[in-house]
Chain A
Amino acid sequence: MKSIFKSLGLAASAAALSLGTAISAHAVDLQFYFPVAVGGKAAQTIEELTAEYAAANPDVNIDAVYAGSYQDTVSKALTAARGGNPPQLSVILSVDMFTLIDEDVIIAFDEIANTEEDKKWLNSFYPAFMENSQTGGKTYGIPFQRSTPVLYWNKEAFKAAGLDPEKAPATWEEMVSMGQKLVKKDASGNVAQWGVRIPSSGFPYWLFQGLTTENDVILANSDGNKTNFDDPKVVEALQYLVDLSAKHGVMAPGIIEWGATPKAFFEGNTAMMWTSTGNLTNVRNNAPFDFGVAMLPANKRRGAPTGGGNFYIFKDSSDEQKKASVDFVKWITAPKQAAKWSMATGYVAPSPAAWETDEMKAYAADFPPALVAREQLKHAVAELSTYQNQRVTRVFNDALHAAITGKKTPEEALKGAQAEADRILSEYR
């Protein structure tokens, strides 16, 4: 028994020793947590990029640590920070910004990056992505693995239904009328092909926010302490979503799974789907038919939320480490690296300059759908984010589920959610 302990302890200390000797005396050590939400290739690309940086900067040691899903990563980072051992930097959901500020574990980038040149850098990203990254005049997050939902459509199914295969629905009405033409039933009356699929399992609020934005209403203020769930325009948007199945019969009833959605699209169970641009590479590789990508249809205006993760810098580390962290973030979000990352994963490159690189231009020329997400950013708004974000979005998600499954009317459900959110957020006003 004792010997097992001993040998393990020895092995551990030997490993620590060999690690220690490999590092030169003056090098800065950085630990960097990253989540993976788009399959194995993302992890590989991040490791390649950090290795490239480390090779070019021998005075910095970067340890890139895979930390599970977004939820796992924020748990791991918060536990480590409370335990007095935070990473120096981490990629975490942009919507967790208020939570991280509330826990007092991160610092603003402006505290370290405060020269004229740095300010220019902070302004070099798409404003739609910065909405979730700034509060109170300070920048807490730098956009990195960011996405936005888009509409994918099956051109062959459109042709078969007598629609123009090159034209996606541009408005809510068009989505319903085209959807009705696309619904196919078999002899016994079962639907073989639905018109559209808007996934609602897990986190329905994200795609629903596409509808609310299009209906010209914002779900939460930028201070993160007040929500707008029971606004009549939000109710109207939810009514539209519910009506897609209940009244117009163009979408399958009940809760629709996220994970199964691309598959349903490939197999022709649905002619259109709303989902993240993070799926672009997957759809490109696996759709057995010609497909198109379009912005989400408009109602009062065009609109979509942004999504995904930002870089954050943690508080409890030396000034040297903080400076090195900022340098690393600058490097990895620079046009060349951002372009490489975007092409490997389907995430939207976060700055206009990245889209001007030769690699990215060649990629977009070869695969024009990649540009749709970028164009949509002009109309995009911040993803729903508040203090106590997990609790507030949970309340909201539950309300959406209740309305989608027909347990409550949209108005009832949203009134209830607003009252609950008010109760949770009152202490932050």
Chain B
Amino acid sequence: MSDLSLSKTVEAAPPRQFDFDRALNTFGAWTLAILWALPLLYAIWTAFHPAAYEANFELFAPLTLENFTKAWSAAPFAQYFLNTTMLVTLILVAQFVLCTLAAYAFARFEFPGSNILFTLVLLQLLVMPDILIVENYKMIRNLGLIDTIVAIGLPYMASGFGIFLLRQTFKTIPRELDEAARVEGAGPLLVLWKVYVPLAIPTYLAYGLVSVSHHWNNFLWPLIITNSVETRPVTVGLSIFAAVDGGVEWSVINAATLMTSGPLLIAFLLFQRQFVQSFMRAGIK
């Protein structure tokens, strides 16, 4: 509709070419969006219908919640949800504090070795976390933290990506604001709190979303470092359905998948506008 009204206002330009370009764009966007949404739509379809309709599409197939009850009772999901929530909150809070302080230091303070240290932080981005599993395990064991929620989060708290991202954001904040605050008598930490952090909120939001969704979905490390129901996250509960030997029950798997990813999906839909805007401003694409 909007392109119709637009084409009317720009009479001078050759309307046909303009329309074509626009239509192609719209078409491309819709195709990508549908392709992206298909697995999700399929998951929703199978989760709410009996197993017999997994592969046959029938508009008026009977609806059921049985798959959800089956999935819910296959593992202690209530406990797992609590664990995952605690885990992502813990990691996010720790990351915000550590990365903010480190990024502030790298962005605004000159100290000997700062370049070498920052290079080391950047190197962290290049190392695949999987390579470090054994070393991390040894470290956690020496700390006596095996099978705790803190142990799952600890290796991720000092995030190189977070430090890098916040440093770049802090660097774009005009020094004049910083100096003005100092003239008013604010110390370095107060300046950080009153000037830098508020201006970097879009970055925090965007980084927070990436971090939460990554740790919500993380599987191998939590599986390796924990042993008991009291510490394990939802992904470990979900893995019990991936039992190839016994034949895969898509309807139950999809019900479980929707259940575990549900909170994230709902949160994203609720805050969609803020997230998209903060991504544009923070420059994470």
Which residues of A are interface residues toward B (Cβ below 8 A)? Answer: 1, 4-5, 8-9, 12, 15, 31, 36-40, 42-43, 63, 65-69, 72, 75-76, 79-80, 82-85, 147, 202, 258-263, 267, 276, 278-279, 281-283, 286, 346
Task: Name the CB-closest residue of A to B75.
Answer: A40
- If A1-B93, A9-B150, A40-B74 touch, whether A263 touches B247 (CB-CB below 8 Å) is yes
- Provide the bound-state CA to CA distance between A79 and B137, in Å: 7
Q: Which of A72, A82, A259 contacts B247 (CB 8 A)?
A: A259
**Interchain CA distance A79-B221 in the complex, whole Å:** 10
Some 28 contacts from A to B, beta carbons below 8 A apart, are: A1-B97, A12-B148, A15-B230, A38-B246, A39-B240, A39-B241, A39-B246, A40-B240, A42-B243, A63-B227, A63-B228, A65-B228, A66-B240, A69-B242, A72-B220, A75-B220, A75-B224, A79-B224, A83-B137, A83-B141, A84-B138, A260-B248, A263-B247, A263-B250, A278-B245, A278-B246, A279-B247, A346-B246
A4 near B90 with CB under 8 A, answer yes
A82 contacts B137, CB within 8 Å?
yes
Are A276 and B134 in contact (CB-based, < 8 A)? no
Most-contacted residue by chain A among B133, B220, B227 (CB, 10 A):
B227
Residues in B whose Cβ lies below 8 Å from that of A282: 246-247
* Complex contact B236–A261 (CB within 8 A): no
Which of B90, B97, B244 makes the CB contact (< 8 A) with A259?
B244
A39-B243 contact in complex given A1-B97, A12-B148, A72-B220, C-beta closer than 8 Å: yes
- B55 & A1 in contact (Cβ 8 Å cutoff): no
CB distance from A215 to the nearest CB of B (A): 25
Known: A85-B146, A276-B245, A278-B246. 8 other contacts (CB 8 A): A15-B230, A69-B239, A72-B220, A75-B220, A80-B137, A259-B244, A259-B248, A279-B246
Instruction: Find residues 69-91 in chain B having any chain A CB closer than 8 Å to their own CB.
Output: 74-75, 86, 90
Contact B149–A8 (Cβ < 8 Å): yes
In the complex, B66 has a CB within 8 A of chain A: no
In angstroms, how far is the closest chain A Cβ from the Cβ of B137?
A: 4
CB atoms of B227 and A65 under 8 A apart: yes
Number of chain B residues whose Cβ lies closer than 8 Å to a Cβ of chain A: 38
Contact partners of A5 in chain B: CB under 8 A: 150
The residue in chain B whose Cβ has the minimal distance to the Cβ of A38 is B246
CB closest chain-A residue, reference B242: A69
Residues from 229 to 272 in B contacting A, C-beta threshold 8 Å:
230, 236, 239-250
Q: Which residues of A contact B146 (CB under 8 A)?
A: 85
Chain B residue nearest to A201 (CB atoms) is B244
Inter-chain CA distance A65–B97, complex, in Å, is 34
Contacts of A279 in B (CB 8 A): 245-247
Within 8 A of A (CB), among B149-179: 149-150
Chain B 130-147 near chain A by CB (<8 Å), digits 1 or 0: 000110011001000110
Pairs of residues from A and B, 6 with the lowest C-beta to C-beta distance, nearest first:
A262-B247, A83-B137, A259-B248, A278-B245, A38-B246, A37-B245
B240:A80 contact, CB within 8 angstroms? no
**Residues of A contacting B228 with CB < 8 Å?**
63, 65
Q: Chain B residues near A36 (CB, 8 Å)? A: 240, 243
Taken together as a complex, chains A and B put the C-alpha atoms of A267 and B55 apart, in Å, by 10
Nearest CB in chain B to that of A37: its residue: B245
Query: When A65-B227, A72-B223, A79-B133 are in contact, do A8 and B244 touch as well, CB less than 8 Å?
Result: no
Interface centre among A65, A83, A262, A276 (most CB of B within 10 A): A83
Shortest CB-to-CB span from A203 to chain B, Å, is 9
Q: Whole-angstrom distance between the alpha carbons of A279 and B55 in the complex?
A: 20
Q: How far is the CA of A258 from the CA of B243 in the complex (A)?
A: 11
Most buried by A among B94, B148, B245: B245
Chain B residue with the shortest CB-CB distance to A147: B245
**Residue of A with least CB distance to B249:** A39
Distance, CA A66 to CA B224, complexed state (A): 10
Most A CB atoms within 10 A — which of B74, B137, B243? B243
- The distance in angstroms between the C-alpha atoms of A258 and B75, with both chains bound, is 24
Chain A residues with CB under 8 A of B93: 1, 4
Chain B residues with CB below 8 A from A43, complex form = 240
Taking the nearest CB of chain B, how far is it from the CB of A1, in angstroms? 6
User: If the complex has contacts A8-B148, A68-B236, A263-B54, are A76 and B244 also in contact, measured as CB distance less than 8 A?
Assistant: no
Q: How far apart sit A68 and B149, CA to CA, in the bound complex (Å)?
A: 18
* B55-A79 in contact (CB<8A): no
B145 contacts across to A, CB distance below 8 A: 12
**Digit string of B90-107 for contact with A (CB within 8 Å is 1, else 0)?**
100110010000000000
Residue numbers in B under 8 Å from A65 (CB-CB): 227-228
- Measured in the bound complex, the distance between the Cα atoms of B222 and A67 in whole Å is 11
In the complex, what's the smallest C-beta–C-beta distance from B277 to chain A, in angstroms?
Answer: 28
Partner of B90, one of A8, A40, A84: A8
In-complex Cβ contact of A85 among B141, B248, B249 (8 A): B141
- Whole-angstrom distance from the CB of B272 to the nearest CB of chain A? 29
A35 to B195, CA, bound (A): 52
Q: Give chain B residues whose Cβ lies under 8 Å from the Cβ of A258.
A: 244
In the assembly, what is the distance between CA of A31 and CA of B25, in Å?
Answer: 58
Could you say which residues of chain A place their CB within 8 Å of the CB of B244? 37, 202, 258-259
Least distance between B132 CB and chain A CB atoms (Å)? 11
**Contact A80:B230 (CB < 8 A) given known A4-B93, A12-B145, A38-B243:** no
